[in-house]
Every structure is written in structure tokens, then in C-alpha cells.
Structure 1
């Protein structure tokens, strides 16, 4: 599986979970796809197929897709054909994502409604302005899934999102494409992390945690190698002095590419190895147990 296929599978998995929840929350739901023609329209077409499959959940609600790209004359026709008479509304906007994304969202009424944006800037010829991602903040709730070219730092794009995470796709020691996810929902962040580790592993593509100073490559697995998380968690405890198990689970979820459940497993191994101490000493490892360096 190539990096493009991994990104596409992540998008599909997240959409499949996001659409039913969004339709349950609001009467109008908008999915926005930036650089929709950057990969020949393959990702946008995959997204339409997922949205069409979810139209059974609409029942009097409105589900719309806004696709923006340099020239969507051909891609837009294919998207409309995929949508057919399913009830999915497709708005295809040409003229460039950097120039038209925010305008297209406003024209589609993507304000104060559930909104998910996928911006595949890694497949485009330009690095997006962080303000472009800010256009998604008008959703209520809002989420974004962004890909960046190798070497582009994710921090400017995480700003303004209450919860955000980033993961690097890599095949060797060279910098790889970056995936950035931002949301206002802790539950949605957990869902994204589950999808992240559930994608099919193929063709040597692995993950790298941007926060890991050793830049360790991690195989994609439902039980990922805990080494980078162990190092990051020990460094975190050195900075803060001590933290509860709940705080360490939150740190893993928001500050690393790992899940909260991975943090619990690492805490157990750190205690068993004597690297950290717990307070109180005995009993169940509940969320209020305090962990500190030994």
C-alpha cells in the first residue's frame, strides 16, 4: 500500500465513523475536500462513495460535499455521477484551493454546522497557508484532516484546534509526508487514532512520531511498538515531575501518535521495570494513581 492509499484508507475509515454521528447531531452536514483534483480525483471519488453509502442516515437532513481544486471540470462530473440520485449534494468549485476554499465553504453554508475538511496538500503543488485551514473552524463541531509535504512542520496548522495530533508517513530515514488531524471532540480523536493503527500495512510504509527525538520508525499494527511512547512518556514525567494515569493517557492521545490504551500498557511496564514509582503503592492502576520517575 502506497502513502496515497494509506491516506485514502484513513479518510474512508474516518468518514464512515464521522457521517452518522454528524447527521445525528445536525440537520445539515458538510464535508469539504480541498485539492480535490491533486491525485486525479481518486480521494474525492472515494469520499463520495462513502457519503453515498451513508445517505440512509439522512432522513430529512441535508448532506453536502464541497470539492475545491484547480480545475474540476472532469473530476466534478465524475463526483456528480457517483452521487447520482442518492440525495448527496455535490458542489464542485474550480479556481484553486488556496483562492476558493474559504469562499466555497461560505457559499455552501458550512458555518455552525457539523463540518469535516480533508485537505490533501501533500499531493498538491503548493504548501497551504495556515489560514486556509482556519476556514474550517466555522463548523460546529469542526474537524480537519490535513496532509503536508515532507519537511513542512505541522505546528502552524495545529494552532486553534483544541485537540490535534500529527503523524509522519515514512519509508526510510528521510522526512515523509505529514498527516495532521484537528478536532473539538476527544471521542473523535480517539476514533481517528483507532483508524490510524487499523489501516493495512504494505509496501514498507511506516509511521514516525514527530515528537520522538530518535525518529524511530514504527510498523503499522493494532499493538504498535511501545518504544517511542516509553521515551516520550519518561521525558514528559521529567518535565512535569509527576502525573496521574489519566493525565498520561491524555498526553499520549494528544501529544503523541499513540492511543490512551497504549499509555496504560506502557505505564504498567514502566512500573514493573522500576523506571517509575506509583502512589499509592498497591491496588488497581486507576486514573487517579500518581506516577513519578523512580
Structure 2
């Protein structure tokens, strides 16, 4: 998305879906951490004006309302740190946050502080997190930029080394694939974002492989920065425009909660998901119980990479860490594949001890050794 010139702009379907996802995740995140910690922090690097032309709330206001509701139940404290470069947007954001504070009058405002800062998000955001003591305590950082290589690896590295930090990053690879090959400055920005120049091999990829290649390169970037678990999902709107959302954490429970939120996003936004692991790249409607045909293909290929097969817990963890699907969906699907003769299971009862293999009639002609393994 091009950087808007207006202080307040129209909300597009991608943004609407992202905000719905953010709201649902924070509704799970805040109570879990407030039940265990005295102070938790939420930060944004590209906060915007807090409102869109149609009157829809921006992410800072959405987050404030969620946190105020959570603090009604917990006598704890929360801190919000919001960075925005455009002074016009800062002024509007201050008005919108003031409105949110008025809606939640009483004891909440004293326990929910909101610091708004005008300027480039980096390195100012990191300095603010350091000065407030947020680093080392539970912290969620939203880096929802307008696309392009905006987030320096050095910032991700500072955040990723801390076990209590989670990030959600907007990643739109089209800028690099379109403009960076013949522009030294753009390539340098790409190097800064990825933490190396390895991503530049994208220029030797086939056109249909460029986006997946950059996606995997960025996944490696987050892993090197310290986020041992990442959740990638590709959002596709009605105009077939693609956008990657990348969630980074050290906690598997965080992945589970993010997936729960993901499948509850409002269908009216016209955005669908696509699992990067699905070889047929089928788009998935936003339904709480989605079409599991892609997961069936993904599990079949994963099982086929091991001559001895896979255990059910392995398949569940693979679904959690490597796909957009939830572990709870695995057992029913494996039972279905067993019953139709695609898999053999020992013991036949599908439980935590069962090991499944591809039935001889459904085995690939050659082992697909190129499939990714668990990390």
C-alpha cells in the first residue's frame, strides 16, 4: 500500500481484517498476561490517526478499548506506547485516545497509561521501550507499516532476544520484487530489513516463486532475531491483492491463540487466507471450521517424507507451527484418511500414541524429500 498523503484515509479490506484479527488476539492476550504479571505493554511503530474516513477506529483505539475491558477484571497496570511520524496524525490520534479515555472513566485511566510520540518509529520506539522498562516484561509490538522494507533487522533482534516479547509485522514483498533489482538504495533497505543480502537471490527466481522465496527469507530473519515460532498467513482480498501477516513469538500457546483469532475474523471484509504449505494454493474462506482439504494435502506430504511415518503428536505440532490450521483439526482428518485407505495406523485407534504411514496405494512415486521439516 502506498503511503497516504492525507492525515486520515479510507480503510481498505486488508486493514479491516487485520484490525479484527488484532482485536480478537488482544482479547485473549491481555487477560492471560494480566493474570500473571503486574504490568504489560503494547506498542505500535506506525500508529496512524486512530480513525479512518468512515469513522472506523484505528488499531490504537481498538487496543485501548480491549485493554480497558481487561483491566475491569484485573487490578493491574498496562502501558501503551504509540509512535507516529506525521504531526497531523499525532494530533488526531491524541483526540481519539482522549475520547477512548472518556468512555472508560473511573479507575481505569490511572492504570492504563498511553504515551503518544511524534517522529520516526526507529530508533525512537526502542529508546522509549528501554526508558519505560517495557523490555524484559510482557510486550506486544505491532509493526503495521505501509509495505516495503521498513522494519530494520536490528530492531527485530533487540525485541526477539527477550522471551516475553511478541510481534506482528505486515510484510508486502511487491516493493522489493518490483523496484529493488536496479536500485542500490532499495537493495540496501532490503539488506537492513532482512539482516543480510541473501534475499537478493529473489532476482534469480521464477516470477511465481518470488513472493514465496521472500516470505521464507523473512521467516528466517525472524528466527535469527530470536522468535522461535512464527505464524505466516497470506491474506487475499477480493481484488486478489496479497498481503502477508507475520506473527512472531517464543510461545506455542501464543500461536494457538492467534490461530483461534484468525479463523474468527469477520467474513464481511472479503478477505481469505491461503496456507503457504498448500501446493495447490487453495484460498480459504474465513470460517471457524474451514475447508480442511489443504491440510489433508499438507499432512499427506509431511507423512510421506518419513519412511517410518509420523505420530499423531508430530502431526499436531506440525499443523500448529507450520500451517494456518489448528492442532484440534488433525485427529478428525487423520481418522478420515485412515478410513478411506489413504493412511495406515498402528494402533488403528487414532490417539496420542498412534503412528501413521501412507498406504502403499497412495504413496508417491518418489519421496518428496524437499518438504520442510519441523524446526
Same structural fold, with TM-score higher than 0.5 when normalized by the shorter chain: yes
Task: Give the Cα–Cα distance (whole angstroms) in 2 for the partners of residues 58 and 139 of structure 1.
Answer: 25
Structure 2: distance between partners of 1:100 and 1:81: 26
> In the alignment, is the contact (CA less than 8 A) between 1:276 and 1:292 conserved in 2?
yes
Mapped contact 1:2–1:203 kept (Cα < 8 A):
yes
User: Aligned residue for 1:141?
Assistant: 164
Give the aligned partner of residue 262 of structure 1. 329
Q: Is the 8 A contact 1:127 1:149 kept in 2?
A: no
Take 2:350 and 2:239, find their aligned partners in 1: how far apart are those partners? Answer: 37
Choose which of 21, 41, 57 in structure 1 pairs with 2:32: 21
Distance 2:78 2:22 in 1: 17
Q: How does 1:171-250 map to 2 (within 5 A)?
A: 171=237, 174=240, 176-241=242-307, 242-250=309-317
Q: By how many angstroms is 1:99 displaced?
A: 3.2
Deviation at 1:104, TM superposition (A): 2.0
Q: With the length of structure 2 as denominator, give the TM-score of the two structures.
A: 0.71
TM-score by length of 1: 0.90
Q: 1:175 and 1:230, CA in 2 relative to 1: closer, same or farther beyond 3 A?
A: farther
Q: Return the match for 1:155 from 207, 212, 219.
A: 219
**For 2:161 and 2:72, how far apart are their aligned partners in 1?**
26
Task: Report the aligned-residue RMSD.
Answer: 2.3
* Alpha-carbon distance, 1:272 to partner: 1.5
Q: Is the 8 A contact 1:212 1:232 kept in 2?
A: yes
Secondary structure of the 1:266 match is: helix
1:289 matched residue in structure 2: 354
- Superposed displacement of residue 225, structure 1: 0.8
Q: Closer, same or farther in 2 for the Cα pair 1:37/1:58, shift >3 Å?
A: same
Within 5 A, what are the aligned runs for 1:60-209? 61-71=76-86, 72-84=90-102, 86-87=109-110, 88-121=112-145, 123=146, 127-137=150-160, 139-151=162-174, 153=215, 154-159=218-223, 160-171=226-237, 174=240, 176-209=242-275
Distance between the aligned counterparts of 2:120 and 2:149, measured in 1? 10
Take 2:78 and 2:66, find their aligned partners in 1: how far apart are those partners? 12
SS at match of 1:213: coil
Q: Is the 8 A contact 1:110 1:138 kept in 2?
A: no
Question: For residues 234-286 of structure 1, what are the alpha-carbon distances to aligned partners after superposition, in whole Å with 9 as ceiling and x for unaligned?
Answer: 11112233111011001001100000012222211211121111112x3x311
Do the aligned residues in 2 keep the contact of 1:83 with 1:90 (CA within 8 Å)?
Answer: no
Aligned to 2:65: 49
Distance 1:149 1:74, change over 3 A: same
Q: What do the CA deviations read for 1:167-195 (whole angstroms, capped 9, x no partner)? A: 01103695511111122222221111111
TM-aligned CA deviation for residue 138 of structure 1: 5.4
Q: Does the 8 A contact of 2:46 with 2:121 survive in 1?
A: yes
Which secondary structure does the structure 2 equivalent of 1:215 belong to?
Answer: coil
Aligned pairs, number: 290
Question: C-alpha displacement at 1:81, in angstroms?
Answer: 4.1
Q: Which residue of 2 aligns with 1:279?
A: 346
CA distance in 2: counterparts of 1:217 and 1:107, whole angstroms? 44
Please tell me whether Structure 1 or Structure 2 has the larger radius of gyration of its CA atoms: 2
| Matches of 1:138 and 1:25, distance apart in 2 | 21
| Partner-residue secondary structure (3-state), 1:44 | helix
SS at match of 1:202: helix
Partner of 2:199: none
